Amino acid sequence: MSRLNDSNVLLAHEIIERYPRKKSALIPLLHLSQEQNGWVTPEAMRHLAELLDITPAEVIGTATFYEMFKFEPVGKYVINVCQTMSCALLGSDGLMHHAEQKLGIKAGSTTEDGMFTLEPAECQAACTEAPTLQVNYRHRYRVTNDSFDQLVDDLRAGNLDGEIPPHGTLGRNRQHIPAEKFVGAPDPDDVSDGPVWIPVSVGDDS
Ligand code: FES
């Protein structure tokens, strides 16, 4: 199924209600569609445009700005090997080459069984732990060829199912805001007054 399913349509409407402008809900709904299908399908983007009263071009124009959204099928596990300076100095080129050999694919592609997508990545903000990789955005540090092999074998065997969910899975704690807690933000188009600044006392350096 590519459009949002019925339960996700209900959830989408709940999310849209939180924003003064419908289209502000676009990013959360893109995440929702990616969680449902593992990637953001063209049909899903058209469906989101309908739900948000915007054009499909606006959806794709925004979605393609973000690296985390995928527009073609990817593996159950997306492995991103950092290729930036600290990791490069500590062997990430060799690690990527080894990963290609282990998985039998080139970087930028997906194994035939749909289990793994291998991608190069920019700095993962863990330079002291180089070389690093992420599996579905879960870090692995100081990765060696042997630990990479063990990681892949464990993923294939399901040994890490409790730690690393399938690609696209969102956090398990979904936020539900009771109606009485809504801030009641006005539509930005209806705001004509200037901003209300918080007064600062003279001599207050904060
Ligand atoms: S360079 Fe690889 S984590 Fe920063």
Query: How far apart are the C-alpha atoms of 58 and 60, rounded to whole Å?
Result: 6
Compute the average pLDDT of residues 4-23: 92
> Which three-class secondary structure state does DSSP give residue 71?
coil
Q: Which residue has the tokens 């445009």?
A: 49
**Given a cut of 70, is residue 130 above it in pLDDT?**
yes
Instruction: State pLDDT tens for residues 48-89.
Output: 999 999 999 999 999 999 988 999 999 999 999 999 999 999
State the pTM of this model. Answer: 0.80
Which one of 87, 129, 139 would you pick to mutate in the ligand 1 pocket, going by the greatest count of ligand atoms within 8 A of its CB? Answer: 87
State in Å: Cα 23 to ligand 1 middle.
34
- Report the pLDDT value the prediction gives residue 192, as an integer from 0 to 100: 75
Query: How far apart are the C-alpha atoms of 174 and 120, rounded to whole Å?
Result: 31
| Residue 125 Rama label (left phi>0; alpha psi -120 to 50; beta) | left
Which one of 89, 122, 132 would you pick to mutate in the ligand 1 pocket, going by the greatest count of ligand atoms within 8 A of its CB? Answer: 132
Domain over 77-157 is classified CATH 3.40.640.10: no
| Identical fold between 6-69 and 77-157 | no
Confidence of residue 198 (pLDDT cuts 50, 70, 90): low
- Report the pLDDT value the prediction gives residue 89, as an integer from 0 to 100: 97
Query: How far apart are the C-alpha atoms of 168 and 112, rounded to whole Å?
Result: 19
| Residue 114 Rama label (left phi>0; alpha psi -120 to 50; beta) | left
- Report the pLDDT value the prediction gives residue 170, as an integer from 0 to 100: 81
Query: How far apart are the C-alpha atoms of 93 and 193, rounded to whole Å?
Result: 56
**Annotated domain spans of the chain:** 6-69, 77-157
Instruction: State pLDDT tens for residues 137-169.
Output: 999 999 999 999 999 999 999 999 999 999 988
- Report the pLDDT value the prediction gives residue 24, as an integer from 0 to 100: 93
> Which three-class secondary structure state does DSSP give residue 50?
helix
Query: How far apart are the C-alpha atoms of 17 and 92, rounded to whole Å?
Result: 45
Q: Report whether 98 contacts 79 (CB < 8 A).
A: no
In CATH terms, the fold of domain 6-69 is Arc Repressor Mutant, subunit A (1.10.10)
SS (H, E, C) 174-205: CCCCCHHHCCCCCCHHHCCCCCCCCCCCCCCC
Confidence of residue 178 (pLDDT cuts 50, 70, 90): confident
Mean pLDDT of the chain: 90
Instruction: State pLDDT tens for residues 96-123.
Output: 999 999 999 999 999 999 999 999 999 9
Confidence of residue 18 (pLDDT cuts 50, 70, 90): confident
What residues flank ligand 1, with Cβ below 6 Å? 82, 84-87, 123-124, 126-127, 130, 132
Q: Which H helix or E strand runs over 81?
A: strand 77-82
The DSSP annotation for 119-180 comes to EEES--S-GGG-S-EEETTEEE-S--HHHHHHHHHHHHHTTTTTTSPPTTPPPSS-----GG
Q: Is the dihedral of CA 65, 46, 48, 189 positive or negative?
A: positive
Query: How far apart are the C-alpha atoms of 170 and 119, rounded to whole Å?
Result: 20
